[in-house]
Structure 1
């Protein structure tokens, strides 16, 4: 559920499934697409269903212009799911490699997706109203993160042309003078703060404002 503290904090970690370990395939984009969809299902239906990133790895290719384990664009993945639906992870388990599309049950479908205006204030409002937000950032300096707040001092770029990694915005918080996003990564729970990290808010840290979107049931 949402936890909101006097408009200073919003934290939706409780509606996000555990970080999936995607070390075997470069499916970062697929994982944050899936996280945004799982959040929508919980908010609308009250169920915490684990959806299948492998479904998107194998099937959101060809006319949808994504590249399986080599990644892809969030809007392309959402377009695929709007037309075809997405299986649960139980029905379409993770394999970690590109395989032939084997979609089965079409367990969940979505009606549309929304691209958010590239302002962090608008992203905050969208997260408060709609749950987890799929986003892209420059993660070139993120590999050795262990704790703390990531910002431009880490050496990441804020340029839209340098976006190279998909993540999921699950909350935002203010502690003293520090405003930051709470971000779910896709590198497993041994990375960072149990699979999550903090990203400085309202300064376009690592280009976070440029590409954000969420699906709707």
Structure 2
């Protein structure tokens, strides 16, 4: 049976260090991602970040004028970091939760204006990813918006060259889980739940790789 225990240990190690509140700025350092956050936050009061990590994107939403924020992550160390930042910030309304997809079920329907799903949906076990998308649709208000960012698609040659383990079908183990679907397959899946507003591949020079960015909206219930 697949579990997230190894994933939790990995992210707890990543998020061990505190963040200086003075280092938190409105910009992500990536122009395309900044524009996507601008779009998400426009006319949005309440933001949910599922897979929030150390909370940086939620705080960047706050700096764009959003009022209410919920962050969920499986890493207890990540949530410890965001709570320390929140204590120093002393502004805005934030609520942070340690947990996974099961926590989404506890959030009221029609709660959020916007949702951040940054490099999380394709790092879930596929059945959990489907559950998460269904819950996000329920949680979003009509015309609510989602910023959804995915890891790059890996070719068979890359999988073999980098000795990445194939768990089954297109679910990989590259140290984390990776639901390695083509962009067309993601478009088809997302279209079951949302209207796709925009798609763009955004480049990260520090990693020399592209991420796949979908901007989608909940155009109906």
- What TM-score comes out, normalization by structure 1 length? 0.30
Which structure has the higher relative contact order (CA within 8 Å, separation 6+)?
Answer: 1
More helix per residue: 2
More strand per residue: 2
Larger Cα-atom Rg: 2
